[in-house]
Structure 1
């Protein structure tokens, strides 16, 4: 593996993997704390509509996916902020709509023959310098937002009714959490793909819950674990010539199972 470090695409893969892991650890903790894992999954798959639209318009894929994912997050937040009784139906509709729109726009794009599997399952070796810049900016934005509004986010995540009584703008911070989740999903597209992104957001967090007693600790531990899983997954992917996204998730699941078994004993 050391000899492979001389290649630019390997260096880009490692850097992007670390950057995505930081975002996944922080946002994954918020997703689990707010019990919106399925909701984040809906945003992830609906962003495929932005990918298809970007391909059709000839604009950067990450930009199209970002705009579409953020718009979806805002719509879902507006529809579910007061009542979550029908949240599953709303998420299912947005999920299906986004995927359908993406497929239609790809079909309408003349002469497009690029393998779309890379967007569904990730292709970390195809990460460009522009993608790394995007991920770096994303991490700075996420860390800045969490540091700036940590107390409010903490209150909304664990007791939104109490937060409302304390005068906290629950609607704003609930929407902010979903937007941050949407941005993280888009950032992870090249690493693990839309299909596996929820696993990257949740597996490290479930493990971190075993060791963390507060949200901030959970974020740090989750980011660290996600980074370890990503690097080990990349090594396995390199030596066995298999999908990097799938390798990363399998490593995470294996670590989770081992930890649960050891915890029971």
Structure 2
């Protein structure tokens, strides 16, 4: 069944409206017609069975029927702070971490970050990442969109981690093997993951992160590409502390 997002205020209307790229996709790609069934969700945990009432070039009017609460979100709150990467790498990474259940995506500038875009470009990139994230939510049957933050400085990013129960600084130079004995620690309800740039974090960044309560951790003897490291870190954290695989008591 085809699945689409509607804002929460639309769900209260007698005939909600789907607009923008979704409306064009329904008409020109899927070629759906009045009477065809679809599923819509409001981004707040509620999903609806619906059918198409009418279509025109700009919008699709629908009628809602069955309402159901669907819980596909992880019980673990995950924030991924990712050093700014080149465009295509970042685009793909945003889509993949949505599928892995990440709640909050925070791009930031590390000292060795190679791209140094201006404010206009970073704003444009954020809008693109938000669009990609919403598309991924539709595909993977999540109920709540991942929040995509503006680009932050390294210091601002450290401050954002303050309320998280577990703060992980992935660094190939040194660190504990967190995942070799996960039962040695209380199971966290939130995890903040920090991944560096292609050139890696500098020692001074590690010291600053440690002062903010971060633990330096490694994932083994091999050097991973940045985007590989981010996916591996989110998967392992979700497996050990979230809802992917065996849960750790």
Fold conserved between structures, TM > 0.5: no
Point out the structure with the larger helix share. Answer: 1
Higher RCO structure, 1 or 2 (CA under 8 Å, sep 6+): 1
- Considering only CA atoms, is the larger Rg found in Structure 1 or Structure 2? 2
TM-score, with normalisation over the residues of structure 2? 0.29
TM-score, with normalisation over the residues of structure 1? 0.28
